[in-house]
Copies of this chain bind each other. A is one copy, B any other.
Amino acid sequence: MRVLVVEDERRLALALKHGLTAEGFTVDVAHDGLSGLARATDHSYDVVVLDIMLPGLNGYRVCSRLRAAGSDAGILMLTAKDGEWDEAEALDTGADDFLSKPFSFVVLVARLNALARRIGSRAPRRTVLGDLVVDSAARTCTRAGTAIPLTPREFAVLDHLARRAGEAVSKREILEQVWDSGPDSDPNTVEVHVSALRRKIDTPFGRAAVQTVRGAGYRLAADGG
């Protein structure tokens, strides 16, 4: 498992490198935001451990730029203060987890392993369901070889359903994942987009890949409908 540690405090960075290496991780180190970002985009890491207080480019920015660049590495932020602001903001910029300094090494390793497990189980970039193909990386969708143009929201909904093909996914979860919104948002928004999606990927082909699971949400048929 490949880990990048971005931490300006040399002593701590070195200690982490040694400790994590001893735990079986493959560890690289960067000492400021810019070089950290460069390394993270050039190489592919499973997890990036990211200090927030960094010279040059702070942790939040590195994090959001990484996400903007399409990185799907797990990001664990190290927050110096333990105020609420830090943590909420870290999650907002796309971090997967965070840890307040000072932290114990045992805990860091536990979190890294948990994170790696989560990341590892992330769905592949291309999902094939019968003659329906959803390519998350290319952001394209084809049915029986025919390319189907989708709006950003439509694709995001389809993509999310495709990652969990065969499973029922609640509107609430779709709202959270696609809209990044709280539980008070209107589920009708999802319904409208699902409706539009069906009109494009199902109706013209006489199929029914997007199934309604009454009371539970929607399910994308594993065989494409």
Please tell me if the beta carbons of B214 and A151 are within 8 angstroms of each other in the complex.
yes
Q: Closest residue of chain B to A221, judged by CB?
A: B138
Within 58-96 of A, Cβ neighbours of B (below 8 Å) are at 82, 84, 87-88, 91
Chain A contact patch, size range? 20 to 34
User: Interface stretch among A3-11, A35-43, A44-52, A104-112?
Assistant: A104-112
| Residues of the B chain whose Cβ atoms lie less than 8 Å from the Cβ of A121 | 121
Within 95-119 of A, Cβ neighbours of B (below 8 Å) are at 97, 100, 103-104, 106-107, 110, 114, 117-118
CA A24 – CA B87 in complex, angstroms? 22
A17 within 8 A of partner (CB): no
CA A167 – CA B123 in complex, angstroms? 14
Please tell me if the beta carbons of B91 and A216 are within 8 angstroms of each other in the complex.
no
CA A166 – CA B125 in complex, angstroms? 12
Please tell me if the beta carbons of B172 and A139 are within 8 angstroms of each other in the complex.
no
| Residues of the B chain whose Cβ atoms lie less than 8 Å from the Cβ of A214 | 151-152
Please tell me if the beta carbons of B110 and A152 are within 8 angstroms of each other in the complex.
no
| Residues of the B chain whose Cβ atoms lie less than 8 Å from the Cβ of A216 | 139, 152
A164 CB to closest chain B CB (Å) equals: 8
A128 within 8 A of partner (CB): no
Given pairs A82-B100, A138-B167, 16 additional interface contacts (CB within 8 A): A23-B183, A24-B172, A24-B183, A84-B104, A84-B106, A87-B106, A87-B110, A88-B106, A91-B106, A117-B118, A118-B118, A137-B166, A137-B167, A138-B168, A152-B215, A152-B216
